[in-house]
């Protein structure tokens, strides 16, 4: 079947195809370089940008953006970017200085623009309740992020408009399906058990959107120190309100939560992903898998 003549013809055809495709292949190498400040946002930008963009994520998997210290390499990357995507709402306290240091002329797009913001539950003695930056934990808000990313990419690369629009609408459909799944899974948890403790207050938007009460000892940022008195207060609260479970997060030290669980008798639920994705081998390498991981961890701790 496979004669020498066929082989020669095939390799000639392949050679012609390669030379015809060469300019297109070259053009595809010129991806639009963009920055996303943290891994969750990086995944959203990749889904909208697809093959046209090269996304560099500054704060990687399992890393805390609240206390991140940018490197000279980050400034270099930001300097080469066509767009800098940030969460905003005070999440990346270090970004303004980084953008300035990089000398970049690229626009900074705040992807949370247009969401309905909420305040943190507790001021932790600061006298004012700061805006909660963790808006991505509501899938409804993530859809607003995606629309802002699409518009930011179109402004930076108008030739890619149809690609960005198609990618965004395909991804938005996946987020619609995800949100329906979240509501169905949470709906299975008895109403009087939808109350948990997490180590930092990152799930306010999630809780408000889907009807779970999250109580956190640390407040808005992982920077805040927790006193022995705070811990004692939380333990008393768990006992009084019969809170069924406490949860770890991937970006915070688990020891405090282990202590709280031991002393209060609450169950330790699984690990929730709040401010960063896992690496590829972990349970939350993308935004969609992160939300799925979190709802299944919640459901299995609260329904049993």
Nearer to Zn ion, 104 or 222 (CB): 222
For residues 41 and 72, what is the distance between their CA atoms, to the nearest angstrom?
21
CB of 102 or CB of 250, closer to Zn ion: 250
Q: How far is the CB of 136 from Zn ion (least distance, A)?
A: 10
Q: Minimum distance from CB of 168 to Zn ion (Å)?
A: 26
Enter the tokens of residue 130. Answer: 């700061």
Residues in contact with Zn ion by the rule CB under 5 A? 202, 275
Query: If you count them, how many residues does the chain have?
Result: 304
Question: For residues 202 and 243, which CB has a smaller minimum distance to Zn ion in the complex?
Answer: 202
Residue 245: phi, psi to the nearest 5?
-150, 155
Between 264 and 278, CB nearer to Zn ion: 278
Cα atoms found within 13 Å of the Cα of residue 10, Cβ hemisphere only: 6
CB of 248 to Zn ion, least distance (A): 14
Q: Which CB, 135 or 288, lies closer to Zn ion?
A: 135
121: nearest Cα among 216, 230, 16, 253: 216
Instruction: Output the smallest distance, CB 252 to Zn ion, in A.
Output: 9
Cβ proximity to Zn ion, 67 vs 173, nearer residue = 67
> Nearest distance from residue 289's CB to Zn ion, in Å?
19
CB of 260 to Zn ion, least distance (A): 18
The minimum distance between CB 282 and Zn ion, in angstroms, equals 18
Closer to Zn ion at the Cβ: 179 or 275? 275
What is d(CA 16, CA 22) in angstroms, rounded to the nearest whole number?
A: 10
């Amino acid at each position: 079947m496979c004669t020498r003549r066929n082989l020669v013809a095939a390799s000639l055809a392949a050679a012609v195809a390669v030379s015809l495709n060469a300019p297109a292949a070259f053009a595809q190498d010129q991806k639009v370089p963009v920055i996303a400040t943290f891994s969750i946002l990086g995944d959203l930008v990749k889904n909208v940008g697809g093959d046209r963009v090269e996304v560099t994520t500054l704060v990687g998997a399992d890393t805390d953006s609240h206390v991140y210290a940018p490197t000279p390499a980050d400034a270099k990357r930001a300097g080469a970017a066509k767009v800098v995507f940030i969460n905003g709402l005070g999440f990346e306290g270090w970004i303004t200085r980084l953008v300035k240091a990089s000398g970049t002329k690229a626009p900074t797009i705040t992807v949370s623009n247009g969401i309905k913001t909420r305040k943190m539950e507790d001021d932790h003695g600061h006298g004012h309740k700061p805006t909660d930056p963790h808006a991505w934990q509501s899938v409804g808000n993530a859809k607003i992020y995606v629309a802002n990313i699409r518009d930011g990419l179109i402004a930076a690369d108008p030739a890619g408009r149809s690609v960005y629009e198609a990618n965004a609408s395909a991804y938005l459909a996946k987020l619609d399906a995800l949100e329906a799944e979240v509501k169905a899974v949470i709906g299975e948890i008895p109403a009087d058990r939808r109350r948990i403790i997490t180590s930092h207050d990152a799930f306010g938007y999630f809780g408000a959107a889907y009807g779970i009460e999250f109580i956190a000892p640390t407040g808005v940022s992982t920077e805040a120190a927790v006193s022995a008195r705070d811990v004692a207060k939380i333990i008393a609260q768990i006992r009084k309100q019969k809170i069924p479970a406490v949860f770890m997060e991937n970006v915070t030290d688990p020891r405090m939560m282990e202590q709280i669980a031991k002393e209060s008798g609450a169950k330790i639920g699984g690990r929730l992903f709040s401010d960063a994705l896992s690496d590829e081998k972990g349970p939350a390498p993308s935004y969609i898998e992160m939300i799925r991981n979190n709802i299944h961890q919640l459901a299995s701790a609260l329904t049993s």
